[in-house]
Chains A and B, each alone.
Chain A
Amino acid sequence: MPAVLVCLWAVPVARATTPLKLEQLAAESGWIRLLHYEPDRGVASGWRSAIHSPEFFLAAGGGTDPLAELQATLAAMSVPAGIDVDAHAQCRFPARRIWLTQRLGGAGSLAQITCPRFDGFIRSSEVESVSIIFATGYLGNPASYYGHALLKFNYTGTYSRSPLLDVSVNYGAILTGTDDPLTYMVKGVFGGYDGGFSHVHYYFHNHNYGENELRDLWEYRLDLPPEAVRLIVAHAWEVLGQRYTYYFFRRNCAFRMAELVQVVEGVDITPPDRPWTIPQSMIQRLAQARFADRPLLAEVRYHPSRQSRFYERYRSLEREDAHLLGALADGTEVISGSRFQGRPVTSRQAVLDGLIDYYQFVADPETRASGKRDPGYARALAARYRLPPGEPVVAQRLPEAPQLGRPPSWVQLGWMQGSASGEAMSLRIRPAYYDVLDGGSGHVPNGALVMGDVQLRVEEGRVRLQQLDLLAIESVNPALSGLPGDRGAAWKLRAGVEQARLGCRGCLMPRLQGDMGFGRQIRDGLFAAAYVGGAVQTNRFEQGPGFIRASANLIFKPSAGFAVRLGYEHRQPVGGAAAYGLSQAELRLAFGARSDLRLAYANDEAHLLTIGLGHYW
């Protein structure tokens, strides 16, 4: 055994009298967290690291042996640096070095080695603070339905040139090929991809989310002392490029990002006891967390997307200017015309700024990425250059912050009464995430994203399945301007099992439903949409193999705690059954952030009434 290990086998902790054995040190939570060990009954130590890159370990069996890895780390930290200084253990694992120095005190003193690449990464320790960035959900990509979280290092001093140039650290699946969307989802859910941390200037993500995907960003700056910030940054360096196994539901971006921060003893922001980790839940837990007897959250900042900025500019325009913007957008007016040129300079600036935002907002994602633009965009931009510099002030309204929203999971206990099915108790469990009535900040307004929504019917001591929505999505746009390209394209998708008709008891059938349509926010709190679509289903209960339909919805939300949805659809079954109409109404009344009362009524010749008390968790 090398001499260094002999002398470190029983070492005193600084200012402590009890010798600390390496076995104890290797079992400490700090070491377990630094190596990302997770419980595993299949190995002798009971631990297996979540990282499976061999280069992350200094001992041959370090991935499953915390003690061996600790011994190897202590040995490697103590050897003199070679020609390639950056390859030294102190340079590769600076957070381990910090932690060992803290735990071992003077006995663990290590010769200070200068690490050029790590110093470049931390820019000479000028990271002043750490922020967690939350990107709101995006229905354009299944991997982004629930939002995303990434870490941002906020620099100060010489290199604090702009927050845009701060470094962001991002966890995601590592794609190795061009998997089709279905394969992509399956592999993402079941661990078919490696996952890992990457880093890039923050402006890259800021631009991608805000400009290309039109997602609002929320920045949460943490109140951590300098030594904690140093440990997080050093640990981020250690795990960059290392490979984990990516799981969409639990061990995802939010989970791994929280782990990076939780390397600091006493920080706990991972939502516990769930088979999934929703980024917004992590943010909500962060907002409640305390560290060193102070709130962990120091500051919240909102970064609106291009869409949000356009809507705020549009709302802030004077009536004549809003009409003018519309006329310029649809081509009934031109910039050189007297109507535009006759407006005051500030009005022309405001109209052109709104027009520029409009063209960027309505461009499809591929066009945005390619840089091709509507000729109108170039004309508006050129005209803006001909005006004096300056920017009319737009008061950006703050939406409800995601950390203040309700928890994502919901359970409801209720009572139902059907004209054909009689009375029964109802139990409904929805693990995630929101529907058109309870969507809030970080969600698509008036949209829905439901997974695993189960409704059980309890009567005469028996429990029966009433309905199961494996997945239900309603993607809508508010179409606030109503201008070309902003006319509220909407779609719905729903897959699950439900009763064939309201009047049919025990008539469960698998059904896949889809609709396309248009929606429009008529005024604040009032949204309407119309769709055409249909369904395919098992050919049972004289309902044929499917139906086509036309439908319309009206959603009324006068306040955050009260919402009503009215809907009607006309269904024409395929295969000869008679057409019928389905009317639906649902009312939701919220009690605080964690409870609600709902009343739902549906009628398709038979009727079903449900009333229930819900709890969010």
Chain B
Amino acid sequence: MAQAQDTPPSAPEAKPAATTADDRRPGSGPNPFTDCGIGAALFPTVGWAAVTSNVIWDIGTTALTSATASPQTCSGKRVAAAIFINDTYEKLAEETARGQGEHLNAVLNILGCDSARHPEAIEAARGSMGEAVAAPGYATQRRLDKAADFYGIVESAVSGRCAA
């Protein structure tokens, strides 16, 4: 059996992603947004048509490949979680406010949090996010920065509470 891929599976011509950071405990690794340069590489500028429905050609996937090539610690489930958060931030923020939701469960699962531990992790994340969204300047904060903050919050919530 090949190693599990937490990033979108590689196309035949794409480079395989490394997964060397997955052995670290949640909460102890780098934040892919700030430590791996993912923020700049995730979303290349695309034309008006490319962002619409059926003309998408691997937006994100190709950028991910280059972004995760180096350093090796910036790959695996952390990157997968970062991309998921960046792609679906608003849903995550809203579901965290409600304390439940399929996106929230998905990101916890990506980070290896056992489903039995989800309520505890969600409660912790909800507390931190409540402070983040109430902080002055949240409304004008860049989306990428919000996503990076959420990554930190959810990884901290997972750390020590979840069985990886």
B41 interface residue per 8 A CB criterion:
no
Per a CB cutoff under 8 Å, which of A198, A207, A382 touches B57? A198
Evaluate contact between A200 and B54: CB separation under 8 angstroms: no
Evaluate contact between A389 and B100: CB separation under 8 angstroms: yes
Which stretch in B29-37, B68-76, B101-109, B151-159 binds the other chain?
A: B101-109
Evaluate contact between B88 and A203: CB separation under 8 angstroms: yes
A542 interface residue per 8 A CB criterion:
no
> Which residue of B is nearest A253, CB measured?
B54
Q: How many residues of A contact B (CB 8 A)?
A: 76
Q: CA–CA, A370 to B43, complex, Å?
A: 11
Type the 1/0 row for B103-145, where 1 means its CB is closer than 8 Å to any CB of A.
1011001100000000000110010011001100011001110
Contact (A161, B110) CB under 8 Å given A172-B56, A390-B99: yes
CB neighbours (8 Å) of A353 from chain B are 98
> Which residue of B is nearest A377, CB measured?
B139
Evaluate contact between B98 and A200: CB separation under 8 angstroms: no
B23 interface residue per 8 A CB criterion:
no
B93 interface residue per 8 A CB criterion:
yes
Per a CB cutoff under 8 Å, which of A140, A143, A373 touches B54? A143
Evaluate contact between B61 and A198: CB separation under 8 angstroms: yes
> Which residue of A is nearest B61, CB measured?
A200
Evaluate contact between A199 and B8: CB separation under 8 angstroms: yes
Contact (A143, B53) CB under 8 Å given A117-B2, A375-B139: yes
Evaluate contact between B139 and A373: CB separation under 8 angstroms: yes
Which residues 248-262 of A have a CB within 8 angstroms of B? 253
Evaluate contact between A121 and B10: CB separation under 8 angstroms: yes
A343 → chain B, closest Cβ, in Å?
A: 17
> Which residue of A is nearest B13, CB measured?
A241
Evaluate contact between B98 and A381: CB separation under 8 angstroms: no
Type the 1/0 row for B1-39, where 1 means its CB is closer than 8 Å to any CB of A.
111110011111100100000000000000000000000
A167 interface residue per 8 A CB criterion:
yes
A138 interface residue per 8 A CB criterion:
yes
Q: CA–CA, A379 to B138, complex, Å?
A: 10
Evaluate contact between B94 and A385: CB separation under 8 angstroms: no
Q: CA–CA, A389 to B130, complex, Å?
A: 11
> Which residue of A is nearest B100, CB measured?
A391
Q: CA–CA, A143 to B138, complex, Å?
A: 36
Which residues 344-374 of A have a CB within 8 angstroms of B? 349, 353, 356, 360, 369-373
CB neighbours (8 Å) of A201 from chain B are 8, 84
Which residues 439-479 of A have a CB within 8 angstroms of B? none
Per a CB cutoff under 8 Å, which of A116, A237, A253 touches B2? A116
A209 interface residue per 8 A CB criterion:
yes
Which residues 211-233 of A have a CB within 8 angstroms of B? 211-213, 215
CB neighbours (8 Å) of A215 from chain B are 53
Evaluate contact between A167 and B90: CB separation under 8 angstroms: no
CB neighbours (8 Å) of A369 from chain B are 51
User: Which of A141, A159, A167 has the largest count of B CB atoms less than 10 A from its CB?
Assistant: A141
CB neighbours (8 Å) of B16 from chain A are 116-117, 120
CB neighbours (8 Å) of B126 from chain A are 385, 389
Evaluate contact between A196 and B57: CB separation under 8 angstroms: yes
B63 → chain A, closest Cβ, in Å?
A: 12
CB neighbours (8 Å) of B99 from chain A are 389-391
Evaluate contact between A381 and B49: CB separation under 8 angstroms: no
A170 interface residue per 8 A CB criterion:
yes
Given contacts A179-B47, A378-B133, A389-B123, 19 further A-B contacts (CB under 8 A): A119-B2, A120-B9, A135-B53, A143-B49, A175-B57, A181-B49, A198-B11, A199-B8, A203-B87, A205-B56, A253-B54, A360-B90, A382-B133, A382-B138, A385-B96, A385-B130, A385-B133, A389-B122, A389-B126
Can you pick out 16 interface pairs between chain A and chain B where the beta carbons lie within 8 Å of each other? A117-B10, A120-B10, A120-B16, A162-B105, A162-B106, A172-B56, A196-B57, A198-B11, A199-B58, A207-B91, A213-B53, A369-B51, A378-B138, A385-B129, A385-B130, A386-B134
